[in-house]
Structure 1
Amino acid sequence: MNSNNKAHPFKVKLGFSSAADVVRDGRQGLRIPTRYGVDGSGGATETHWCDATDLAEDRSKIPGLSAGFDQIDLSGRENLQDVLAKVREAGELSDEHARLVRSEIQGKRFRLSDGRRLRVLFVAPEGFIMRRSGPNGLDVSSGQAMTERNGHKAADQVHGDQNVYGTPLKQMLKGAAPWLFRHNTLGRRNRLSPVCLLNLWLPLQQCTQPLTLADRRTVDVATQQLHYALPTGDFLDRNEDQALNDIWLFLHDRQQHWYCDSAMNSERAYVFETLGAPHGAATLPGEDIAESCYLALEKLELQIKAGEDVEPITPLPDLPPETPSSLRSVLEEADLLFSKAGGQASDLIVEHARALRQRLTRQSLEMRLVALVY
């Protein structure tokens, strides 16, 4: 496998809605009709390779909440890191772990990149979930059913999590959400309130399928931001009038600018605007090879456990030059294991293969915050 790692323009592959699916919805503007029985945030109907900034190369390029998102530092919060390590090892989020994580976030203060402070007033019980996805969007759920907390795949479609004028906020806050929360929604805005509705996205590990966010200022909301009513009945127990969640989907445009962090771990987290920040899980250059690698590692484990002879394994093909170093290092380690594993069978090889598969699996937590920004 070629280990060439020279600098190249960085691109990520993202899923979008198609202009062919857009309908007009009276005064509401543009809409994508509700689709049932699809994964993700509505089922991406087209994908594009998009220019992006990899913040792993220079985190000073984070544009901040004025663009819709920021990062916060969690590295010094030892109790939180201990809990996150247990969640990562378990591969699922228990109610007790959720309680412990919430206790380390709610009421705490964090510094934003522009020097302002963020104080978390409340962590909502709904929307606190764990996502798991393999390289190239590979399903690694092993048949695990989706519940309110677990069994969620990476959201492979660019979306915004909530319409401030829509369900369920309009029912929960009796129509007061646009006056309570700071927002900018299709020409209607609230710039005065210091109270923000934010998502906190925390990677447990993610050398594949990184969360990728757009600078909202590069998105033409009038022509690219689309109303969508997301069915929630498969994983949320809600009243009938709240069964469809009003969110946003997006069309692709070459003028949009995207950001991801290919080397992010649990020591940092994104905070981003729940009320419209475009985001989604991206596929990185090299993830098609990472998917083949994951499956080969899985096959190797099964052969050794079954007592079968391990045949020589074909080396991995050359990686695209744009492959981030965080993914490249895992694949190079796997290639070295494959070169040693042919004809051998040992518990150490099984453990190493399992550890590499886990590192290729994106695991992340996300939760919804009510916060003061000052």
Structure 2
Amino acid sequence: MASGTATGTRPGTAPRSGLLLAGILLIAVNLRAAITSVGPVIEDIRTDLDIGGATASVLVSLPLVAFAVVSPLAPALARRIGIERALGAALAVLAAATVVRSLPSIPALWVGTAFLGIAIAVINVLLPSLVKREYPDRIGQVTGLYSSVQGAAAALASGFAVPLAGTTQHGWRLALGIWAGLALVALAVFLPQLRRRSVPVDAATTVRSRSPWGSALAWQVTLFMGTQSTVYYTLITWWPSVEQAHGTSATASGWHLFALQVAGLLANLATARLIPRRADQRLLIGGAAGLVAIGIAGQLALPAASLLWIVLAGAGGGANIVLALSLFGLRTHDHHQAAALSGMAQSVGYALAAAGPVLLGALHDATGSWTAPLWVLLAVLVVQAAAGVQAGRARLL
């Protein structure tokens, strides 16, 4: 088996530093904040721009569609201009798109949202590859750390959206546009890394970096990524409605969703510490799926304890995303192969994630109850656990 020690960078480049880690964490801050800030002010956007509910739903899901379409293309961009420069370009596009989205124009809203999704898709794919290259012995820890920062920023963005929107007549534009500043800060801190340019260093790298689409292991990782994303995005979209249908107040269900995010953050950090202890991740993957399953089954059986169930589901979901992102590095030889696997898994994964909430929402409308959709989620969890147990075995593509 060929060694995966080649970094694929030009000789003489600077070693890893605290500034690089700071740059990675600041990039992670931008991965969800611009998306989670939309939901709380969607009614303001609808009223101001006179758009319907269906149109607003498409607006919310458009970034996920962009993730699915663009993710397979990101590795090719990195091979052409380098991981660092691709990330820097994506941050610049993200900042510009965030501003465009907040302009007083419906076309600007759509164009900005589309390019925002494209930029985040590139970052989503290439950040695990950068972690694989720069922190090959700390993949789980660094992935868990940036996942936690990402989740915290997402929670804060959703929490501050309404207060920011209340500052002016058209305050939703401020609530959405302010996050361009974070992208510019991340770009400024990451700027020294743009002097580096990752290039293939030998023929072995090219062989190892062949397309993962024909690999059974790659499909197992992809199915795990897709199913856990589907469950997560369905829960954060519909769980407040599920709770309210079972008698929980709207205010309480909102705080319960916040509890889900906090539980997820804590699970991010705990999982990051556990991953390096074993080369095999099957036990962690099975345990995380079990927590989510208990949460969903508990809500079906005893909805009065909904806070407990959402905390368990949130903890399982937080562990799942760290495991999914870590597998891109743990199951590959080098960062080129990690980028290819990341692009494949996130393309399929976010296509499923975009469809999941829509299909289960339609199932609810057809049945008039959340019972059938929750049972479907439990079935998805069975598939997730089966794929995850296979993907969690200590082997490489």
Whose helix proportion is higher, 1 or 2?
2
* TM bucket, shorter chain: under 0.3
Taking structure 1 as the reference length, the TM-score comes to 0.27
